[in-house]
Amino acid sequence: MSSDEVIFVADFFYEQGIHGGAEVCNKNLIELLESKYRWKIIKLNCPSITAKFIENNLDKIFIIANFMTLDRNIMEKFSTDKRLKFIIYEHDHKYVATNDPSKFTDMMIPADKIINRNFYESAICVLAQSKLHAEIIEKNLLLDNLINLSGNIWSREQIELLSEKRKQGTFQNKDEEIYSILKSENKNKGMAKSLQICQKNNWSYRLIPSARYEDFLDELARTNKLLFTPDWVETFSRVCVEAKILDCKIITNKLVGCLSEEWVLNNSGGELLKLVSENTDRIIDLFDKILRLDFTKIEFFSTKKSTKSKISVITSIYKGKRYLLNFLNNIYQQTSFREQEFIIAHAKSIYQDEEEKEILNFIKLNNIQNVKYFKLDYLPNVQESMNFMIGKATGEIISIWNVDDNRKINSLEKISKFFDLNPKCQIVYHDCYQTTKENQTFENNSSNGELYEHSKNDYSSENMIKCLPGPMPSWRREIHQKVGFFDSRLKFAGDWDFWLRCARQGIRFHKIGPTMGLYYQNPEGLSTNSNSENRRNKFLEERQIFINNVDVFGFTNYNRYREFFNV
């Protein structure tokens, strides 16, 4: 096989009788790559891909378009086999279980509804079709390999046909007072909603049926007003671009990807047709560069501001010498280390001087400027220590990092990015693996995928019967103005109490993925040791919090757990 062979994988292809927008676009892409750059494209339906076929084609690059019918085991192989090189040409939101992110507030997808995350993360790149499309993917998957194509692909024949329709002038004889609606059995295209709008407003309308492309353009040419109200996010929408080329007015909603692109939004008629042609050439050229693994001058998509949300990471240390080196190395290895600040409150103990020497030597050796170290001459409880550090923080975001826990090296970067992209979210948490062996790392641990119990569920007030944010929560510092600080009277469950107060005040929580932490179930920890007095006091404290917060997590949970708390 030639080195210029590419394997194109999709559920269906145009010649198999499926003529949706994705299939039309894929057909045009394949033909133009073959004609302009002489790539040989091998087309395979998803069910035809086997592990043996993949092994026999490790030297090829795969373009994976729609993949609803791709076997889960094959997808797992793509996600985990580092020898494989593949591109995801994203059409229909295969990263969300509903195939439509618009059903969620601010298009923030709950963690349990995000699917195929590893698949997207493992691709050479993920190709989105519009700014809107890319923004939704970025804010939910936090990808570093995302490229916005900023367009769709038209064949030379389609561009010529659009040009002919303009020359014929048929688009000048329009039905001025009639609204045109696409006739489609696909409920996502919003025909029913558009009909309801017309009926409610007593607007005259007509339906544009599916037809041969040239006949369909004739129908668009007659159209003065195209009423298009899709029920899901259109990653691009070819028809809206074609309608604008034929001087149609478009009445739509905020779910049309192409209208997030300035070159589409601000142009129409012949000028837009010219841009469609130029943009098609640009996209084909971009595909060629990607297939040759030439990423020079290719810009990966990111909407992060130049002034990113700085995180103030707070860490209490008390008799923590055995964990110090692992902790210090872990924070220093963070990909966004220089952009954050780290605050250490060092409680008084018989080991304090020895621990202080190790901390300060590490700071000096690595010329670290962004660690605030406070040596305390007393032993505060956990809540007092956190309140003290919050008072010293200058970051917009606060994040707890216990000295005996470990984080994925890009976790702070991902959390900062999520807060930047989701300004209405105020508290963030994520899954953590759990281990019983000290000083392991996120990348090399014995958890066997076991997760920390309390953080498994997505946020709801009912689920706050558990302390959902877990051991590595992050939150906007500003919420303390509304909720106050941690209750320093509480010794064991101050965090649960604080998050329940946040929930009562309507503070917005969100669980994000992927798993980014390693929690050490420390047998000597304050809340995990076997001291009988500690266990009794912890129980009594949690019992009172349980009684005081029935209004948050509800009577169903109250009745379910009241026996546990002897209520």
- pLDDT, one tens digit per residue, over 341-374 is 999 999 999 999 999 999 999 999 999 999 999 9
Band the pLDDT of 524: cuts 50, 70, 90. confident
Query: Quick check: 111 and 512 in contact, CB under 8 A?
Result: yes
What confidence score (pLDDT) does residue 368 get? 97
Domain count across the chain? 3
The pLDDT of residue 306: 43
344 and 478 in a single domain? The answer is yes
Please give the mean pLDDT across all residues of the chain: 94
Give the chain's count of helices (H) and strands (E): 19, 18
Cα–Cα distances in Å, from 528 out to 123, 386, 537, 538? Answer: 41, 19, 12, 10
- Around 43, how many Cα atoms within 13 Å sit in the side-chain half-sphere? 16
Q: Is residue 458 helix, strand or coil? A: coil
Return the sign of the alpha-carbon dihedral for residues 317, 322, 327, 332.
positive
282 and 174 within one domain: yes
514 prior amide bond cis, ω within 30: yes
Asked if residue 536 belongs to a domain, the reply is: no
CATH of the domain at 138: 3.40.50
Q: Which pLDDT does position 456 carry in this prediction?
A: 87
- Same structural domain, 215 and 129: no
Domain membership flag for residue 125: yes
Predicted TM-score (pTM) of the model is: 0.90
pLDDT in tens, 86-141: 999 999 899 999 999 999 999 999 999 999 999 999 999 999 999 999 999 999 99
| Cβ(16)–Cβ(55) below 8 Å | no
Question: What pLDDT, on a 0 to 100 scale, did the predictor assign at position 177?
Answer: 85
Note whether 352 and 287 are same-domain residues.
Answer: no
Domain span holding position 283: 156-291
Q: What confidence score (pLDDT) does residue 169 get? A: 67
Q: Are residues 216 and 164 in the same domain?
A: yes
Q: Tell me, yes or no, whether 47 and 90 share the same domain.
A: yes
Whether residue 124 is found in the same domain as residue 195: no
CA distance 376 to 101: 48
Q: Let me know how long the chain is.
A: 567
The mean per-residue pLDDT over the stretch 280-294 comes to: 97
Return the pLDDT at 20: 87
- 138-164: per-residue pLDDT in tens? 999 999 999 999 999 999 999 999 999
**Residues 339 and 279 placed together within one structural domain of the fold:** no
Asked whether the predicted pLDDT for residue 566 surpasses 60, the reply is yes
184 and 128, same domain (yes or no):
no
- The enclosing H or E element of 165 equals helix 156-168
Do 374 and 254 share a domain, yes or no?
Answer: no
